[in-house]
Amino acid sequence: MALDPLGAVSQQSIMALSGRLALAALRLWGPGGGRRPISLSVGASGSFGCGGNSEKVKLSLKDVAELLRTRACRRVVVMVGAGISTPSGIPDFRSPGSGLYSNLQQYDIPYPEAIFELGFFFHNPKPFFTLAKELYPGHYRPNVTHYFLRLLHDKELLLRLYTQNIDGLERASGIPVSKLVEAHGSFASATCTVCRRSFPGEDFRADVMADRVPCCPVCTGVVKPDIVFFGEPLPARFLLHVADFALADLLLILGTSLEVEPFASLSEAVQKSVPRLLINRDLVGSFAYSPRSTDVVQLGDVVQSVERLVDLLGWTQELQDLIQRETGKLDGQDR
Ligand SMILES: [Zn+2]
């Protein structure tokens, strides 16, 4: 990417980068692509601490809070990954010992990621639907991080939330779909693999819960939830990144290892002058190999870091009230 003498990214080079990302966005990397595939969960243990200022970082977490509190930044683009859902109990289907892993063991799966391969799906869709049963909307609940992002939206500070997660917890927290880019798809809708008709995911809830492979009511073809499999195009909404990342005045990245392309490259798509805040267990991606002077890094437990930011923003009570209100709604739906 071309840099001007001042080190700033020109508008032209941003558009060029965005164009490359758009091309890269056409296909998800497969297992042979050398990158990690769709990640459901990473551990988020570890103790809070050691974030904030380092010699290279001029801004602190407090400064970021101030930028938000004073609305100096109000076009916030957020990127999230599996690390924000771990506190909701979302299991890693690749981890021996998790219930989901045990459930999948009964099938003859060559390797765990095969459940996201179309060839294997057409051979045997049952393992995928075991996962679908686990992750269908309603089973898990949003946590503090999801509701913090909802509060960002309520305060009209959220430009867009890009998620790699397929658990639907961003929707469940009440963030409108128009503010979301679910880069790896969701269970909210499903498509017939034969006639390509689209249906609400809810239409097949009873089938999925009863361990039946859902069939198209029109042509009887197998219906597949709109989760992005290897080799499938990303959702058209992913192209919103071309405008969103050029407009962003703050980039928040939470709970992601930044290992999955094309998602990972987006972390570098904001202008150089735009502060980037990483809240994560570890230092990852371009924050490690190509840090910027405007980077803020808060390492450790994601929930504790989010709570610290919320505290600095003075939103703690408001967040608690929101969580209580929304939890009450979800309790009502369960009854
Ligand atoms: Zn059909």
50 known member of a binding site: no
Is residue 296 within 8 Å of residue 63, measured between CB atoms? yes
Q: Is 95 annotated as a binding residue?
A: no
Residue 214, C-beta contacts closer than 8 angstroms, at least 6 positions apart: 129, 190, 203, 204, 207, 208, 222, 223
Q: From CA 255, how far away is CA 238, in angstroms rounded? A: 19
Angle between helix 302-313 and helix 316-334 axes, rounded to 10 deg = 120
Ligand 1 midpoint to CA 168 (Å): 24
Mean pLDDT of the chain: 84
Q: Model pTM?
A: 0.83
Q: For 258-267, what is each residue's pLDDT tens digit?
A: 988 888 899 9
Distance (angstroms) between ligand 1 centre and the Cα of 191 equals 8
Quick check: helix, strand or coil at residue 229?
coil
Give percent above pLDDT 70 in the chain: 82
Please tell me the distance between residue 169's alpha carbon and the centre of ligand 1 in angstroms.
Answer: 28
Q: How far apart are CA 205 and CA 6, in angstroms?
A: 55
Distances in whole angstroms, Cα of residue 2 to Cα of each of 224, 262, 264, 275, 287: 42, 20, 20, 20, 19
Q: What is the pLDDT of residue 104?
A: 84
Is 164 annotated to bind a ligand? Reply is yes
84 is in an annotated binding site: yes
What is the DSSP code string of 270-308?
Answer: S-TTS-EEEEESS--HHHHHS--TTEEEEES-HHHHHHH
Q: Is 115 annotated for ligand binding?
A: no
Please identify every stretch of the chain with a pLDDT value under 50, giving residue numbers as ranges. 1-57
Q: How far apart are CA 91 and CA 85, in angstroms?
A: 9
Beta pairing partners, 223 = 192
Catalytic residue among 123, 139, 153, 184: 184
pLDDT per residue as tens digits for the range 77-93: 999 999 999 999 998 77
pLDDT of residue 327: 93
The DSSP bridge pattern shows strands 276-280 and 250-254 to be: parallel
Strands 158-163 and 250-254: unpaired
pLDDT of the residue at 108: 81
Q: How far is the CA of 36 from the centre of ligand 1 (A)?
A: 32
Q: How far is the CA of 28 from the centre of ligand 1 (A)?
A: 25
Active site residue 123: no
Burial degree of 30 (CB within 10 A; 0-12, 13-18, 19+): middle
Which helix or strand (DSSP H or E) is residue 79 part of? strand 76-80
Tokens of 301: 């437990």
Single-letter amino acid code for the residue at 222: V
pLDDT at 262: 82
Tell me if 201 sits within 8 A of 190, measured CB to CB.
Answer: yes
| Residue located via tokens 């509060």 | 151
- State the Cα–Cα distance between residues 59 and 297, nearest whole angstrom: 9
pLDDT at 67: 98
